[in-house]
Amino acid sequence: MQDREHKNTFSGRLITGLSEAFERVRADGQCKAVVLTGYENYFASGGTKESLLQIQDRKISFTDSNIYGLALDCPVPVVSAMQGHGIGGGFAMGLFADFVVLSQESVYTTNFMQYGFTPGMGATLILPRKLGSSLGQEMLLSARTYYGRDLKERGVPFPVLRRAEVLPYAVELAENLAEKPRVSLVTLKDHLVSDLRTQLPSYIEREVAMHEKTFHQPEVRELIQSRYLGS
């Protein structure tokens, strides 16, 4: 992912490009693994200021694109090489991968509540599932920012490496996966993520319902306008 102009926020260009890339993976019967990464110190930075304001105005919904579910729906294993900052929906999207690698120097946050609205993008499902109930709920409710090294100290079940080591580690892992027969990889992934795939639509439905209660408050618009500084 490399939308330098928007620092890997979920711009229209990033959403379209990423969706098309995963479609090519789905159509490629030779592909056995995917490495999802960003550029320099950005992995994925969540919604743009404009899109948050449009959701607040009821003009769009985060469900208008399924960017959050691309890694989960991908038939082959996905390695999320979060070499840079993972913010809001960008962090949640990365956690839906089959393997996650974090950077010691990067920041990770689900900062939805910083703007006064409840989380979306499947975050209420994937954070407690991947990070554990206690840490997942803490991140969702507090909207605090954590360095990768902080999460390592909290015992997250992922490798947390120096930034320069993240992508090489992820590529090595993908190469290991690629040694296996594709049909076996697809079959085992289908089994391992079946519960997540089944549960995600109901969580998205409930997140949308929570947005109806929380996103359209006047103070939310004020918080987006005053606190959104870009990535």
Instruction: Find the DSSP H helices in the chain.
Output: 12-27, 49-56, 70-73, 89-95, 123-131, 133-142, 148-153, 163-177, 182-192, 194-214, 218-227
Q: Give pLDDT tens digits for 7-52.
A: 999 999 999 999 999 999 999 999 999 999 999 999 999 999 999 9
Q: Give pLDDT tens digits for 149-177.
A: 999 999 999 999 999 999 999 999 999 99
Active site residue 85: no
Containing H/E element for 81?
Answer: strand 78-82
**pLDDT score at 231:** 42
The catalytically annotated residue of 6, 191, 211, 216 is 211
Query: Looking at the predicted structure, is the pLDDT value of residue 144 above 90?
Result: yes
Q: Give pLDDT tens digits for 168-215.
A: 999 999 999 999 999 999 999 999 999 999 999 999 999 999 999 999
Q: Give pLDDT tens digits for 62-83.
A: 999 999 999 999 999 999 999 9
Q: What is the pTM of this model?
A: 0.95
Average pLDDT over the chain reads 96
**pLDDT score at 230:** 55
Domain locations in the chain as residue ranges: 4-224
Q: What is 4-224's CATH superfamily?
A: 2-enoyl-CoA Hydratase; Chain A, domain 1 (3.90.226.10)
